[in-house]
Amino acid sequence: MHDKFRAISLSHKTAPVQIRELISLDEGTIQSILLKLREFFRLGDVLILSTCNRTEVYYNHEQDLSTEIIKLVGLEKGMADVVNYLDYFEVFNDDRLAITHLYRVCMGLEAQVVGDIQISNQVKRAYQTAADLNMAGPFLHRLMHTIFFTNKRIVQETTFRDGAASLSYAAIELIDSLTSTIYQPRILLIGVGEIGEDVAKNMVHLPDAKVKITNRTRSKAEEIAAELGFEVVPFENCIEAMNEADVIVCSIMKNEPFITKELVKQFDIQSYKLLVDLSVPRSIETSVEDVSGVVLYNVDNIRSKASEALEKRLSAVPKVEAIIEESIGEFYGWKKEMMVSPTINKLKQSLEQIRQDELSRHLKNVNEKEFELIDKITKSMMQKILKVPVVQLRAACQRDEAEELIEIITDLFDLEKIKTEK
């Protein structure tokens, strides 16, 4: 049996936000799981991706390890009942389906807002984590670089990335439509991590808004505020700033809600207050909507209006899918070569060893000129002998029938004893 590339996916398409936030993984947990996968299952090619919309594990192994991996994730998260959540995971055990899914995720085809550019940076970081822990072998390295190259092609050759239609931009469009009657709406952005920073940069689409930002690490807030001309609120003054704001956008990493119903009840709400929760796990209690005048949106119910950018992206999808299909075809060409190349190398080494042994046995007393000629003839013979099996192996590869031929050639030339040179 040969290793197959496989994937396990829990995403906004298979699970609601309350399930996704239970399974979401931070950087430390991802590293811990990667190390355990290497230790327990001897895995060498693993990619773990965890964003607000998905938690996914991609791996190379001859057997389906999906249940074991999900249990391991549960163990790391302290979820003894993780087996109850198995149905929320989509499992890709077909090599090509798993690779296609990874491509589609990386390009933004599977994003909540189609074409979301953030995902490609998140995938790059996930790949970097795997590489840092030596969990990316030749297969994963080649696959990821092929995907990154395909991403560049999509940017250059299609309108798929034109305009701003990320989750952050969808939030801005929502704020814009809900504050259209307010003169100079006061917006407070809490947390400037990856999504928070993206939201802040998209605030340029709300030119009349009065924006304040706050963050636990003040220097990060100041850096972004300086660039965008916003006011920084010290984190300890956060509640006061929340009371004043018409719109609160919360994007912080916290295991329990940061904004509670009890807190919101204390606010002086003149007409209404819009709360936007972009955190996973969620940072705003859903019961805040019980308070009169409070409107709450979270990552699941933010949908980009049918903006021009989104329509442009959707019209580009067939072209994007065609580029992906072409790229996967090229990758499979390399993958097939990878499958037969160790056998070809062993066969070459086996024949070369025979040639060298015979040369040293019979040509002890010939002169240099004669040696060169015989060396040339035997090399040429060897190449001609090699030509047919190599051509046949590559052809069998294209037909997906290489395994049987590899076995026959290995037995015929006793190649098991040959160690391939690195």
Active site residues: 52
Token pair belonging to 36: 């355990």
Q: Are 159 and 316 in contact (CB under 8 A)?
A: yes
Residue 8 identity (one-letter amino acid): I
Q: CA-to-CA distance for 148 and 151, rounded, in angstroms?
A: 5
* E strand map for 266-310: 273-277, 294-298
Please state the length of the chain: 422
Token pair belonging to 282: 């969620």
3-state per-residue secondary structure call for 96-157: HHHHHHHHHHHHCCCCCCCCCCHHHHHHHHHHHHHHHCCCCCHHHHHHHHHHHHHHHHHHHH
Q: CA-to-CA distance for 77 and 126, rounded, in angstroms?
A: 19
CB count, 10 Å around CB of 212?
20
Half-sphere exposure of 109 (CA within 13 A, CB side): 20
Q: Are 53 and 114 in contact (CB under 8 A)?
A: no
Q: CA-to-CA distance for 215 and 26, rounded, in angstroms?
A: 19
| β-strand partners of 276 | 249, 297
